[in-house]
Amino acid sequence: MSDNRTPERLAVAKTYKLYIGGSFPRSESGRVYPVHDRQGAFLANAAHASRKDVRDAVAAARKAFGGWSGATAYNRGQVLFRIAEVMEGRREQFAAEISAAEGLSRKQSRSTVDDAVDRMVWYAGWTDKISMVLGAANPVAGPYFSFSVPEPTGVVGVLAPPDSSLLGLISVVAPVITAGNTCVVVASADRPLPAVTFAEVLATSDVPDGVVNVLTGRAAELAPWLAAHADVNALDPTGAPEELRAELAKTAADTVKRVLPVRGEPDWTREPDLQRLRAFTEVKTVWHPVGT
């Protein structure tokens, strides 16, 4: 009875959207752009975020900053670990999307997902250790108790790496939120689908709304607004085109933004160090007299 030309079941195609303040809106601009796999086949239309979306996302990140930075390190660690748990459950979905985006075999993609999950677990364990490792009780020459603690810088604009669609994304987002910052992330333009799935993971992982906001679109178009925005405290330009980075750093100078120094795209398979945690951290020193 069946017709050979009709598949047994037509897949439900997904409409990919942005992730801002815990919601999944379409781009305010109404724009989308087509995403293709490595062979050039159409995968989906992704939302093409605009300057206004950047501003909405920054506002959401700022609103979330007080709660997230004020949460206990133990609590933030649990939330980060929860992200890893939910990612683990979506292993096959991530692997399929990575295979399509990066042209990897399913086995290689699974291994990449595993690395990404493990990295999130690694950072989850850092939340309550940053202060111990980067802070100090300062032995000042006088009757004062002086101590220094690292604190989050604030709202961080993150341009996710263009090539590594999931492992690279996790490697730039995790240290930012581990340190207690909130962020606006611009996903890889050509490979945005794992980032949208990651946003769905965040939405179901106890991550407070607005802590991570994910935009899909063109880094070259959105980055200058992030670099110029007075309510963005730091910028990770990893995913910006090489020729744009110096321009972004110049723009960032108007508000004395911290700009992570990067060259090319790092090797994400290497074990991370503390550089990204330190880069989005301020050291605060507190003094008080000692006496009776």
Partner 1 sequence: MIDSPWEYAPAPESREIANLKPSYRMFVDGKFVDGGGEPLKSINPATEEPLAEVSSASESDVDEAVRAARRAFDDTWSTMPGKERAKYLFRIARLIQERGRQLAVLESLDNGKPIKESRDADIPTAAAHFFHHAGWADKLGYAGYGPDPRPLGVAGQVIPWNFPLLMLAWKIAPALACGNTVVLKPAETTPLTALVFAEICQQAGLPPGVVNILPGAGDIGAALVAHPGVDKVAFTGSTEVGKQIQRSVAGSGKKLTLELGGKAANIVFDDAPLDQAVEGIVNGIFFNQGHVCCAGSRLLVQESIADELLEKLRVRVQTLRVGDPLDKNTDVGAINSAEQLAKITELAASGDAEGAQRWTSPCPLPEKGFFFSPTVFSDVQQSMRIAREEIFGPVLSVLTFRTPAEAIAKANNTPYGLSAGIWTEKGSRILWAAQRLRAGVVWANTFNRFDPTAPFGGYQESGFGREGGRAGLEAYLDV
Binding footprint of partner 1 on the chain (CB under 8 A): 70, 133-134, 136, 138-142, 144, 146, 148, 153-154, 230, 233, 245-247, 249-250, 252-256, 258-259, 261, 263, 273, 275, 278, 282-289
Short-list 63, 42, 40, 2, CA closest to 208: 63
Backbone angles phi, psi at 281, to 5 degrees: -130, 140
Q: Residue 18's beta-bridge partner residues?
A: none
Alpha helix (H) ranges present in 129-261? Answer: 130-134, 167-178, 193-203, 219-228, 242-252
> Of 112 and 233, which CB lies nearer to partner 1 in the complex structure?
233
Nearest approach, Cβ of residue 282 and partner 1 (Å): 5
Token pair 């009776």 in the structure block, residue:
292
Nearest approach, Cβ of residue 168 and partner 1 (Å): 22
> Of 218 and 258, which CB lies nearer to partner 1 in the complex structure?
258
> Of 72 and 105, which CB lies nearer to partner 1 in the complex structure?
72
Q: Is-contact 290 143, C-beta < 8 A?
A: yes
For residue 264, how many other CB atoms are within 10 A of its CB?
8
Largest CA-CA distance found in the chain, in angstroms, rounded: 94
Nearest approach, Cβ of residue 58 and partner 1 (Å): 15
> Of 106 and 140, which CB lies nearer to partner 1 in the complex structure?
140
> Of 155 and 195, which CB lies nearer to partner 1 in the complex structure?
155
Backbone angles phi, psi at 15, to 5 degrees: -95, 120
Helices vs. strands in the chain: H and E counts, helices first = 10, 10
Supply the DSSP string of 95-119, one letter for each residue.
HHHHHHHH---HHHHHHHHHHHHHH
Nearest approach, Cβ of residue 150 and partner 1 (Å): 8
Nearest approach, Cβ of residue 138 and partner 1 (Å): 4
Nearest approach, Cβ of residue 139 and partner 1 (Å): 5
> Of 90 and 257, which CB lies nearer to partner 1 in the complex structure?
257
* CA gap 150, 145 in Å, rounded: 17
> Of 3 and 267, which CB lies nearer to partner 1 in the complex structure?
267
Nearest approach, Cβ of residue 167 and partner 1 (Å): 23
